[in-house]
Structure 1
Amino acid sequence: MSYSYIDSDILLEPLLAQINASTTLLLDTEFIRVSTYFPKLGLLQLHLNSIDYLIDPLAIKTINLLWDSIFSAQKEFVFHSCKEDLDVLQVCAHQLPERVFDTQVAAAFLGYGASLGYAGLVEQICGVTLAKDQTLTDWLARPLTEAQKLYAAKDVSYLQSLYDHLSKQLDFTGKKAWFDEEMSALLCSKKQPIIDDELYREISGAWQLYPSELAVLRELAKWRYQTALAEDKPQNFVLREEILAELSRKRPETERELAQIDISSQQKNRYGSAIIQCIQKGMSCEVASQPTRIQRMIDFPHYKHDFKQIKQRVEVVAKEHNLPIELLGSRKLINQYLLWSYENKKLEVALPKLMSGWRNQLLKLE
């Protein structure tokens, strides 16, 4: 197996014209996201005109020319399990594709399983067994070994075969429109901005807090997120979720009171003043502006019965159409539907996924 390693602007230049001319790009990314908030791109793999290209973003000075070529015209981007790859493109290229074909999602629609890995799909469709010996590679380290380069190249070598096979099967089974809708929804979700005033709702244990405590948690969660962005570190590296909940309950207002909270001295020295300011701001929030208590799904009357009924409906329809239950109606989607039916049915809010598009076409819920 051969590949072309692009680690200079001179080598990249002739490839740009081919990328510009292509209407379909078969891509993969290798990145590191262990101690940072934003992914760090270590390698971009591209299968084009029967050649596997490994493009080294750390060695190329004119990387913006590459992004301009990749996002020129209306191209279809083909990935396997593309959510994190899209994150990488958002960070590095500051753009997202207009059209995406995710071979993992396509395979799910065709009965291969909810989240079959690339190697498993290649083995089933192409009859080729791929090694998984470089999964712990530091893709930012240089030089890359020959084994690492071969591993990376194989991640795009079979995308064309997967794409061709799955595209035909989606057309043959009449599921292409469903798949296209799912891809559009995925891209739309990636374009939605994060509402930092709502982040507190996702904090573990938030449902246990009273409105006055939630007002503090709202400020702390917003501050933590903004700090993670500014310092490029995971949010839990700033402060762990359970610490946010504890701070919201105890609400220390001085450094001495803050010293009683189980966080490192380094975090107290670095963030102590900001934490206290958030707590004071939350405590000064007027009652009318405090968040309402978060109600758990389990606390709604008849929730268990209703969930069971919807789940059974999902299971029957999924079997009829050879779909994974997780794709048609996961627990999260069922809960989204039930919350809408309990609280928002009469309000002008967006319909839950089970009540719109191809899922509504199959499930016919009311």
Structure 2
Amino acid sequence: MPPADDARVTVGDDAPDARPALVALDTPRDGVPPVVATPDALAEVVAAFAAGTGPVAVDAERASGHRYGQRAFLVQIRREGAGTALVDPAALPDLSSLGDAIADAEWVLHAASQDLPCLAEVGLRPALVFDTELGSRLAGFQRVGLAAVVEQLLGLSLAKEHSAVDWSTRPLPEPWLRYAALDVEVLVDVRDALAAELEQQGKLDWAREEFAAVAAAPPAPPRVDPWRRTSQLHRVRNRRQLAAVRELWQARDRLAQEQDVSPGRILPDAAIIAAVTGTPATPRDLLELPGFNGRGARRHIGVWFDALTRARKLSDADLPPHTLPSEGPPPPRVWGERDPVAAARLARCRAAVTAIAAEHSLPVENLVAPDTVRRLTWSPPAGPGPDGLPDQGQVEAFLREHGVREWQVALTAAALTASMPAPGPDDPVLAAPADDDATAAAGPDA
């Protein structure tokens, strides 16, 4: 897309080895459209997008740091022949008519797995997806945020200064709307450039498999004991304290839901841990602890103290276990003691997967999920191989059962099969694997 002369500003770099100057993307080419917030305005958008052509760029803005939950407060879409639309799902909670109008098109999103759940809540469900964030990972890009990808592929500078604002604000300020429109301004251009890059690397078919899996993924099941995700929970030493964390977390969650406020704005996680480890005897003692000096925390001091009191009165039988039962393998840090052969097997398989990922410039976690490798090496299917281990066909079947895509199976199955037998007397001794994979943070499909 050639930048409009009146909407782009050159960004220079005085360094001797500077890359070509970037061009700032600071104004939508068609201007900032009005927010669509009435049924009549939505009907016009539906007609325009149904008549448009080509892929549809889609994005959503949430207010998770301000409001309760992960629902969308603005939906941005753009299509050739239709322009850009900014739709208010708070005013129009059913956008299924818009979803129907673009149902047959390819939807281009960045980090699709983050936006698809909140889009589905308002009736927007794609059949075909192109995920520019996931595609950038597969292409081997070191930085995969939207601004970095736009810079690398298009030579444009895209500001992200409004990414964490409260999108539930009404009316939305014009600078925020400009930012939101720009997020879909060049998304189809990114898609085209990235598809060409993936094609050149021989990875476009791999990417298509990944995108299909993203589009077809079912909703995530509710978390079991979500309170166990409280920050600094490792500081809690016994089941009684765990019960106190649970009671405080659940009390906070009820208030947050009632008030439609992000839980952390009512009471920070650090305050929950301080209350549990500080054993306050009175509400006044609780007010002296770190994190309880905020207005929200002080207003509900009775709620917090009652939660701590409930935890103290629970019978031992009602206390939560230290950890949840798991149907998967134990933490790898204990494998060396429990099953040294499995520990060596995991180390060898990890090394094989890491080598394949490096060969193809892929993040390890996007080649095959670390949890799948752990499950395979801890409890491999019985087979005709050495020590009763599986052959390659059985390894391939195992991988498919665990959601590994065909391109990933083709790259990894043979190496994983060869790495399954325990080291022989002439093989180097591999250290027991640590819990943490020596990889980058997992992507959407990790």
Give yes or no for TM over 0.5.
yes
Aligned partner letter, 1:106: G
Give the aligned partner of residue 303 of structure 2. Answer: 270
Q: Distance in 2 between matches of 1:206 and 1:134?
A: 33
After TM superposition, give the deviation of residue 53 of structure 1 in Å.
Answer: 1.7
Structure 2: gaps of 5 or more residues:
1-28, 293-297, 382-397, 421-446
After TM superposition, give the deviation of residue 106 of structure 1 in Å.
Answer: 0.9
Aligned partner letter, 1:37: Y
CA deviation profile, 1:187-233 (whole Å, cap 9, x unmatched): 56671122343542665334863456545545555555455444433
How many equivalent pairs are there?
352
Q: Distance in 1 between matches of 2:46 and 2:362?
A: 39
Q: Distance in 2 between matches of 1:191 and 1:305?
A: 36
Cα distance change, pair 257–291 in 1 and its aligned pair in 2 (3 A): farther
Q: Distance in 2 between matches of 1:29 and 1:176?
A: 26
* 1:175 maps to 2:175: no
CA deviation profile, 1:320-341 (whole Å, cap 9, x unmatched): 2122345336xxx53x357546
Give the aligned partner of residue 358 of structure 2. Answer: 319
Give the aligned partner of residue 108 of structure 2. Answer: 78
* 1:44 maps to 2:72: no
After TM superposition, give the deviation of residue 345 of structure 1 in Å.
Answer: 6.1
Give the aligned partner of residue 112 of structure 1. Answer: 141
Structure 1: gaps of 5 or more residues:
none
After TM superposition, give the deviation of residue 165 of structure 1 in Å.
Answer: 3.3
After TM superposition, give the deviation of residue 245 of structure 1 in Å.
Answer: 4.7
Give the aligned partner of residue 154 of structure 1. Answer: 182
* 1:123 maps to 2:162: no
After TM superposition, give the deviation of residue 88 of structure 1 in Å.
Answer: 3.6
Q: Distance in 2 between matches of 1:110 and 1:49?
A: 26
CA deviation profile, 1:289-324 (whole Å, cap 9, x unmatched): 745589765455379977765554343212221223
CA deviation profile, 1:6-65 (whole Å, cap 9, x unmatched): 44534432221233466842112334333223356554322112453232518x85x245
SS in structure 2 of the partner of residue 191 of structure 1: coil
Of 24, 47, 69, the match for 2:98:
69
SS in structure 1 of the partner of residue 361 of structure 2: coil
Aligned partner letter, 1:102: D
On the 8 A contact 1:247/1:261 being kept in 2, the answer is no
Residues 199-218 of structure 1: matches in 2 within 5 Å? 199-200=227-228, 204-206=232-234, 209-211=237-239, 213-214=241-242, 217-218=245-246
After TM superposition, give the deviation of residue 269 of structure 1 in Å.
Answer: 2.0
Give the aligned partner of residue 404 of structure 2. Answer: 356
Structure number with larger C-alpha Rg: 2
More helix by share: 1
On the 8 A contact 2:59/2:115 being kept in 1, the answer is yes
On the 8 A contact 2:58/2:184 being kept in 1, the answer is yes
After TM superposition, give the deviation of residue 242 of structure 1 in Å.
Answer: 4.5
CA deviation profile, 1:130-159 (whole Å, cap 9, x unmatched): 4556556665354633x5544433321212
Q: Distance in 2 between matches of 1:47 and 1:54?
A: 6
Aligned partner letter, 2:156: V
Q: Distance in 1 between matches of 2:400 and 2:307?
A: 37
On the 8 A contact 1:221/1:244 being kept in 2, the answer is yes
Of 27, 34, 45, the match for 2:65:
34
After the TM superposition, which of the residue ranges 305-314 and 27-36 deviates more from structure 2?
A: 305-314
Q: Distance in 2 between matches of 1:90 and 1:46?
A: 15
TM-score relative to the length of structure 2: 0.61
Give the aligned partner of residue 26 of structure 2. Answer: none
TM-score relative to the length of structure 1: 0.72
Give the aligned partner of residue 191 of structure 1. Answer: 219
